[in-house]
Amino acid sequence: MRRFNLNLEKISDLVKPVEVRGGTNAVVKGISSLGEAEDGDLSFLANRKYGREVATSKASVIIVPDDFAGEPGTDQAFFLHPQPSFALDKVCAYLERRLSPSPEPGIHSTAIVHPSAEVPKDVHIGPMAVVEEGVKLGSRCVIGPQAFIGHHAHLGEESELKARAMVMDHSRIGHNCVLHPGCVVGSDGFGYETVEGEHLRSPQIGIVALEDHVDIGSNTTIDRARFSETRIGAGTKIDNLVQIAHNVRIGKGCFLAAQVGIAGSSTLGDYVFLGGRAGVSGHLKVGDHSRIGGSTIVYQNLPAKSFVYGDPAMPYFQAQKFNVLRSRLPDLFRRVAAIEKTLTSDP
């Protein structure tokens, strides 16, 4: 359901284009892809491989790169911007504030907040949330329905726990962090010692520390350290269904896509990117600015600026060559079999 109306002037104020081509009297009521857009929609061109769709798009307003050569159709406006996707983010951020406004400060009557917890007056605590003994919340935090904050955990200013997110005992959450529904920060690490055939739990007495501006996706788990800390660097973004084991250290500005797994005591440098379902074995080091492709498994240390793919991980372009050669293996085996048959046949 479309629940907003934006005129051209408001969009221009949000986007701040370097140039506007054409014009329209339409009121924008929706945002769609170029191919699916209708009259009254806003669209954008970020990936140039879709450039041909601009000419046939029915969108009333299209945000295009600042060097785009095409002209708008009748009753259509082009907003030229050096980063169309970022420009669209500005529009969406405005709409997000309107469609999902921040909740009012206060503590819901069904929430359980320990008397010793430090809760500023401008904090919101939602229905059935639990805030344990010794918790410290920063100004303007938002604690969603059924969220849990364990003993002596700290949250920095303007951090938000979505519904059912959990921050376990003694965890440290920085400023402006977002923990999405169902994620768990500070659960026990997977540590056991086998003694006389019995697996005995190793106590996990460390913490998890998230630096500022860290986002944690739904149902992701970050384990507390066996000792010391598991640390996630400033500005790192972690997708849904990611597992980060105890004593892992992740640098600043990293991206971890869905279903990534990082085994215990491994270290990722700054600005490391991991594609979906990638894995890093334990006690390894991955250098700054490395890229690890989807479904790649890393078994050894990687120097800075590595670009790897495959299982086991190998340099990306080498892995692509192996994939091409692998597709030729059936024919190669047939040829080898034919040669062996010729060599072993009676004269």
d(CA 326, CA 321): 9
- For 36-73, the DSSP string reads T--TTEEEE--SGGGTTHHHH---SEEEEETT------
Structure tokens at 167: 């921050």
Of 114, 246, 283, 289, the catalytic one is 246
Q: Are 220 and 248 in contact (CB under 8 A)?
A: no
| Radius of gyration of the chain measured on its C-alpha atoms | 26
Helices (H), the chain: 8-15, 53-56, 84-99, 316-327, 329-344
Cα-Cα end-to-end distance for the chain: 80
Q: Residue with structure tokens 């469609």?
A: 99
Residue 268 has phi, psi (to 5 degrees) of -110, 135
CB neighbourhood size of 267 (10 A): 19
Strand order in the sheet with 142-143: 106-107, 124-125, 142-143, 160-161, 178-179, 215-216, 237-238, 255-256, 273-274, 291-292, 307-309, 314-315
- The answer to whether the bond into 84 is cis (omega within 30° of 0) is no
Active site residue 114: no
Residues carrying an active site annotation: 246
